[in-house]
Amino acid sequence: MAVPLISPCGSAVVTFKNLSPIIARVVDILIERFRCRGHPNVRATHRSTLEFTRERYLTPRGDCILCVAAEKAVGDLSEEFKDALRSGARLIVTVRVGDVYDTITAWGSADLPLSDGRSMVIRRSNYVDPRTLAVRADKAARDVNRKLVELLRNPETVAHVELRVEDGRD
């Protein structure tokens, strides 16, 4: 028996033959995007967190901050996106400047308030506060691609951030 599978964008059809039984799983994907800017004080050396902030100024002590002047904070995300995070869904964050990028994978939590209007923080730990976007991340600021960090030390640099929630609870 041939079973056609259509890609989510509808652009390709793949046929698998002689597969029995077939287990199909639909994955819901929600995406939020925003831009932020570089700053001369970007260090990105923190061991357990990574942050995007709406603030325009950054002191050298802000070693978890990757970029400033972000267009969104956690409180600005859609309710549908927040609900997905609160269901424990996987979050994939991609930060891109031109051809240079890095990807961070983290997880939502039922405990996330997602209410802060100033920043969003991704944490390696399970700690949650109003700024927390996701927990149990595979990277913190110090783990981010150093070419990307170098580019984000320039205040003229604009980074494009994509937050992608996938229903891939473990």
Where are the chain's structural domains?
28-166
pLDDT at position 135 over 90: yes
Answer for the pair 117, 75: CB distance below 8 angstroms, yes or no. Answer: yes
Mean pLDDT of 84-93: 97
Spelled out in words, what is the top-level CATH class assigned to the domain 28-166? Answer: mainly beta
Q: How confident is the model at residue 156 (pLDDT cuts 50, 70, 90)?
A: very high
Answer for the pair 164, 91: CB distance below 8 angstroms, yes or no. Answer: yes
Answer for the pair 70, 56: CB distance below 8 angstroms, yes or no. Answer: no
Answer for the pair 48, 123: CB distance below 8 angstroms, yes or no. Answer: yes
Distance separating alpha carbons of residues 112 and 104, to the nearest angstrom:
18
Residue-level pLDDT at 28: 78
Residue-level pLDDT at 20: 43
Which is more confidently placed, 152 or 24? 152
Amino acid at 44: A
Residue-level pLDDT at 168: 55
- The whole-model pTM stands at 0.83
User: Which of the 8 DSSP states describes residue 74?
Assistant: G
Beta-strand (E) ranges in 84-148?
90-97, 100-107, 119-123, 132-134
What mean pLDDT is reported for the chain?
Answer: 88
